[in-house]
Amino acid sequence: MAPVNAAEWWRTVDDNWGYLLAIIADQMDLGHPAYDPPGRADGTPTGRQIGEEIEYLRRTRDGEKLPRYLFAAWDLASEAYARERRPGWGILCDLLSEEHVLYDEA
């Protein structure tokens, strides 16, 4: 079920973090340097690797930058990967389609 507010969005992230992290790790190297803005090698290095960065963004509830990593994993995934019914894939899609709840309450 898709989250309907920011609290549910973050609860969904936390409850499914293992699945989401596995999907991200399948699509990008978590050991690469992270940049701000996310995914922009011409940005400012954060001093963390991507894996550390996404964990930091989850911990600090950064609703602007964490979704960028989720969108990147979704965008990098092949159609075959998405069709494999990976655990958490539907959850990732729900989080992305309902990202607006992070801003609706602001």
The reported pLDDT for the residue numbered 105 is 57
Mean pLDDT of the chain: 93
Enclosing H/E stretch for 75: helix 66-76
Distance of CA 99 to CAs 59, 78, 89, Å?
17, 22, 15
Percentage of residues of the chain with pLDDT beyond 90 = 81
pLDDT digits (tens, 9 = 90+) for 35-53: 998 878 799 999 999 999 9
Mean pLDDT score, 58-77: 95
The reported pLDDT for the residue numbered 93 is 95
- Please give the model's pTM, rounded to 2 decimal places: 0.90
- Count the Cβ atoms, other than its own, within 10 Å of residue 70: 21
Structural contact between residues 65 and 35, judged by C-beta atoms closer than 8 angstroms:
no
- For the ranges 3-17, 30-44, 90-104, which has the lowest average pLDDT? 30-44
